[in-house]
Amino acid sequence: MSAAQVNGRSFIITGAASGIGKQLATGLAQKGARLVLADLDLEALQTAFRESESLILRQMDVTSETAWAELVEMAVEAFGQLDYCVNNAGVIRPGFVLDSTPEHIRYHMEVNALGVMYGTHFAAKVMAGQGYGHIINIASLASIAPVQGLSLYSGSKFAVRGFSLAAGYELEEQGIHVSLLSPDLVHTPMLDVQLQYPEESALSFSGGAQPLTVEDVERAFYEVLRKKPREYCLPASRGWLAKIGSAFPGLGAKIGRIVKQKGLKRIKKRYQKREYHA
């Protein structure tokens, strides 16, 4: 998508202070988009971006329905419309089921799933009145294939995928597109978290020789803006493998045990030898 196609369009992006959200916001700002950027870490957001008439920064807890209602209302008041809503904010805390706590469960479901549902709901209310709009929900390949060691994260992202696809079917008659962007492991602060739990996170590192970069995700994001697919997996080959594993759970479990060892070896060889630099 060219700068001319983005210039003047209004976006909400959550989780914009770092990682994928920061990369998307930086690129869109350079193309002349009008942005409302939200993150729980306002200080990091203010360090990354300078507020202006076309770039608004807000501290926000995506698990709050009140905060969502206010954010969407403020975006419309500032820019007169809401063209895109990018539900990017997400968290991960690796851990096996027996090592998890109820707090861990709430943490994943409230931020990853509830946050996306609220964002989609409030954005869609405005977009339905406009008769157009595009909601992009950032998920993960863990939303397609169950990931051992990341069961809470995977479960929350499964919820995002199911909700996004169903919402897309409902909203298309209102002129609203809902797209799900599901990348493999990306070189972001989330990767740093997973490295602290190599046994639990091994499957995440079993894919390509190198993790995806935020630039890889940004390129896919512009494809999503242009084509408006219901689902976009990055890379497509891993997406198909995830779908096969999910369609045949017995086979998926066997594949998981095999590729887990691959992931562990990769972590030990590349990351634990300090070849990774945050």
Per the DSSP assignment, residues forming a β-bridge with 77 are: none
Taking the C-alpha atoms of residue 160 and residue 165, their distance in angstroms, rounded to an integer, is 9
Query: What residues contact 226, with CB distance under 8 A and at least 6 apart?
Result: 1, 5
Query: Which distant-in-sequence residues (6+ apart) come within 8 Å of 272 by Cβ?
Result: 198
Q: Please, are residues 131 and 175 in contact by the beta-carbon 8 Å criterion?
A: yes
153 is catalytic: yes
Ramachandran category for residue 228: left, alpha or beta (phi over 0 → left; psi -120 to 50 → alpha): left
Which two structure tokens, joined as six digits, stand for 41?
């870490």
Beta partners for residue 179, in sequence order: 136
What's the Cα-to-Cα distance from 276 to each of 189, 199, 210, 266, 268, rounded to whole Å?
12, 18, 11, 12, 11
Contact 265, 205 (CB under 8 A): no
Main-chain phi, psi angles of 11, to 5 degrees: -130, 145
Q: Exposure pattern of 14-34 as b/e (b: 16+ CB <10 Å)?
A: bbbbbbbbbbbbbbbbebebb
Integer Rg of the chain from CA: 18
* Residue in 84, 107, 118, 153 annotated catalytic: 153
- Active site (catalytic) residues: 153
